[in-house]
């Protein structure tokens, strides 16, 4: 089965065509500056495609060059927020599209763009099966004591304010890969998975299921990220509001100007590491803050899973920054974790162990592949519906 995987942003459309049977990538690309003008603030002459439908025409042309007479069988969409309704991938129809749209207030930067991609596909290929694969779905197994906030129940019942968790497609995929590397059935895998990229989250896995995760109502909670603050005292928001900051100002501060960027001046981990190694005190402190925050979560989630059988690093930073992995590992001696310097610095695209033989908890690096997971989930849903 040939599956087109779509990840729609407000002004971008990332795509990949996968042959599910062979696990191969036939083509991939990124369309940017959708609907954006050259005058700043979205004004001026449109530079890129006028809308997602026009962007899809470019995708279609690029795909046709590679596929020739072969045709797509289905489209799988990464949808960021599934709320409480969606706990698994689902075949899309008009009602499902509207239901995803009703979740826009929970993910205003993501779900509206996801819906634009869905509608663009439906307009161009009305008979093409489409499947929504939700970032939040894997975390629907969180127990109530983990997803509840200590606020009046009316905030949950009237507004859906609770912890949802994100990066679920990655965490689920990596759980299966890590269990296989350890020669364990996935339902016997208890571990802690650190998905570290510009957005970062860590998840406690018990019996192959998510039982706690660092991101919450939105992807802002939890770890120090590229431009997001992660955890902070909520009274800071009250203080800033009373000082005259608007909600838009605060949102921009916490989501776009904080994290590594706020601490070190850059949200690129490679640049921060290089600056730290060159003696930049701000960069060194940023790494210390970020690694300490992650180490605290790992320690807590070791307890949450009843004793982790593995600590797993994944995603861009988790897979590629041996320096950051070292900083985190150095803080986990109390858990008996020992990272092997030679294994840790070795580059590989394969899942691997980077801890010493004496480490009480194996430390793994497992590349994530969310597009593959989305393609396989899409194929499974379409097959079951046929």
Confidence (pLDDT) at 16 = 94
Mean pLDDT, rounded, for 35-64: 71
Confidence (pLDDT) at 173 = 96
pLDDT tens-digit map of 86-114: 999 999 999 999 999 999 888 777 788 88
Q: In what order do the strands lie in the sheet with 13-19?
A: 24-31, 13-19, 2-8, 74-79, 130-134, 90-91
Mean pLDDT, rounded, for 258-266: 96
For residue 9, is pLDDT > 80?
A: no
For residue 50, is pLDDT > 90?
A: no
Confidence (pLDDT) at 37 = 53
For residue 38, is pLDDT > 50?
A: no
Mean pLDDT of the residues in the chain: 92
Confidence (pLDDT) at 46 = 54
pTM for the predicted model, two decimal places = 0.91
pLDDT tens-digit map of 149-205: 999 999 999 999 999 999 999 999 999 999 999 999 999 999 999 999 999 999 999
Tell me if residue 187 is catalytic.
Answer: no
Higher pLDDT, 335 or 104: 335
For residue 294, is pLDDT > 90?
A: yes
Q: 5-9, 173-177, 271-275, 370-374: which has the minimum mean pLDDT?
A: 5-9
CA 214, CA 298: separation in Å to the nearest integer? Answer: 10
Confidence (pLDDT) at 100 = 93
For residue 321, is pLDDT > 90?
A: yes
pLDDT band at 39 (very low <50, low <70, confident <90, very high): very low
Helix (H, G, I), strand (E, B) or coil at 364: strand
Confidence (pLDDT) at 40 = 45
pLDDT band at 14 (very low <50, low <70, confident <90, very high): confident
Checking DSSP bridges between strand 363-365 and strand 310-314, what pairing results, if any? parallel
Q: 50-54, 119-123, 166-170, 302-306: which has the minimum mean pLDDT?
A: 50-54
Mean pLDDT, rounded, for 33-37: 70
Pick the catalytic residue from 60, 135, 233, 251. 135
Q: How many residues make up the chain in this entry?
A: 386
For residue 44, is pLDDT > 70?
A: no
CA 76, CA 129: separation in Å to the nearest integer? Answer: 9
Higher pLDDT, 7 or 225: 225
With b for 16 or more beta-carbon neighbours within 10 A and e for fewer, the 180-209 pattern comes to: ebbebebeebbbbbbbbbbbbbbbbbbebb
With b for 16 or more beta-carbon neighbours within 10 A and e for fewer, the 250-288 pattern comes to: ebebbbeebbbbbbbebbebeebbebbeeebeebbebbe
Residue recorded with tokens 């005292």: 233
Mean pLDDT, rounded, for 333-348: 96
């Amino acid at each position: 089965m040939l599956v087109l995987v779509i990840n729609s942003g407000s002004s971008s459309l990332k795509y990949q065509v996968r042959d599910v049977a062979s696990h191969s990538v036939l083509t991939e690309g990124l369309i940017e500056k959708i609907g954006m003008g050259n005058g700043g603030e979205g004004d001026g002459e449109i530079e890129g495609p006028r809308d997602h439908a026009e962007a899809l025409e470019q995708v279609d042309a690029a795909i046709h060059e590679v596929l020739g007479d072969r045709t797509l069988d289905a489209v799988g969409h990464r949808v960021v927020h599934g709320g409480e309704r969606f706990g698994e991938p689902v075949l899309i129809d008009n009602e499902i599209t509207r239901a995803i749209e009703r979740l826009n207030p929970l993910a205003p930067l993501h779900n509206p763009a996801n819906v634009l991609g869905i509608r663009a596909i439906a307009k161009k290929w009305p008979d093409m099966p489409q499947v929504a694969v939700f970032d939040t779905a894997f975390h629907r197994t969180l127990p109530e004591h983990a997803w509840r906030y200590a606020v009046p129940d009316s905030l949950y019942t009237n507004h859906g304010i609770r912890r949802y968790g994100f990066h679920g497609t990655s965490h689920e995929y990596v759980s299966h890969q890590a269990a296989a590397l350890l020669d364990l059935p996935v339902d016997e895998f208890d571990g802690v998975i650190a998905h570290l990229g510009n957005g970062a989250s860590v998840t406690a896995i018990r019996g192959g299921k998510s039982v706690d995760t660092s991101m919450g109502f939105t992807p802002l909670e939890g770890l120090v990220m590229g431009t997001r603050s992660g955890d902070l005292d909520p009274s800071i928001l009250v203080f800033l509001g009373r000082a005259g900051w608007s909600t838009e100002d605060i949102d921009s501060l916490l989501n776009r100007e904080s994290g590594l960027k706020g601490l070190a001046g850059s949200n690129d981990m490679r640049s921060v590491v290089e600056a730290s190694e060159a003696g930049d005190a701000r960069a060194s402190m940023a790494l210390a803050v970020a690694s300490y925050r992650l180490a605290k979560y790992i320690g807590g989630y070791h307890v949450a899973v009843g004793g982790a059988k593995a600590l797993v690093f994944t995603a861009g930073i988790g897979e590629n920054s041996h320096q950051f992995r070292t900083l985190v590992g150095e803080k986990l001696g109390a858990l008996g974790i020992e990272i092997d310097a030679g294994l840790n610095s070795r580059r590989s695209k394969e899942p691997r162990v980077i801890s010493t033989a004496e480490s009480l908890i194996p430390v793994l690096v497992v590349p994530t592949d969310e597009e593959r997971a989305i393609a396989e989930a899409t194929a499974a849903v379409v097959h079951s519906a046929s």
